[in-house]
Amino acid sequence: MVLNDGEITLRPVKMRDQRMWREVNRRNREWLRPWEATVPPPAPGGPVAQRPTYRQMVRHLRSEAAAGRMLPFAIEYEGRLVGQLTVAGITWGSMCSGHIGYWVDQDVAGRGVMPTAVALAVDHCFRRVGLHRIEVCIRPENGPSRRVVEKLGFREEGLRPRYLHIDGAWRDHLIYALTAEEVPDGLLRRWHQARPGTPREIK
């Protein structure tokens, strides 16, 4: 499945993206490092976990997607790969929820790429997939990422202490959430209407 809005596209992550994915990730290493998940130290005598290779990552994403637990996307801007967005932790039954994680090339930060990508993914989850609630978990120190969800109108619901292992330690995270009832006309439409310099009515 491919989702797009103008020059911003979400599409499945592919094995052949490896060269470009590695180049973008390498160039943004210092920009991304404080916010990236890390593997906690093993228990005494336990196995030492290793970061997956690119191919292992893609195989895992595909397996989780096939099981209905994840929606992994590459983000393209003007036809080139600039980041990644994943809807993970998808739960059905009485919950029907998931959470979104993302990263983007610093070169395109501030151009509306990530809010648009998140809005595309949320609309797909609510309108096509059938989820009811989407969460985004963000370190309090990550101002740029917090601005993404605040621009889109996600609610801040509170703090989860030492929630995820990030950059070598257990870190607190703020929880932002949105339910389908809060965006009956779509999140992308609301984002377009809120952006400076864009028409108030989207046809």
Does domain 3-194 bear CATH number 3.40.50.300?
A: no
What is the per-residue pLDDT across 37-91, written as a single tens digit (0 to 9) for each? 988 887 676 666 677 899 999 999 999 999 999 999 999 999 999 999 999 999 9
Roughly what angle, to the nearest 10 degrees, separates helices 113-124 and 143-152? 50
Q: Would you tell me how many other CB atoms lie within 10 Å of the CB of residue 151?
A: 16
Positive or negative, the CA dihedral 1, 178, 61, 174 is positive
Average pLDDT (193-198) is: 74
Q: How far apart are CA 172 and CA 109, in angstroms?
A: 24
Residue 50 CA to its chain's centroid (Å): 23
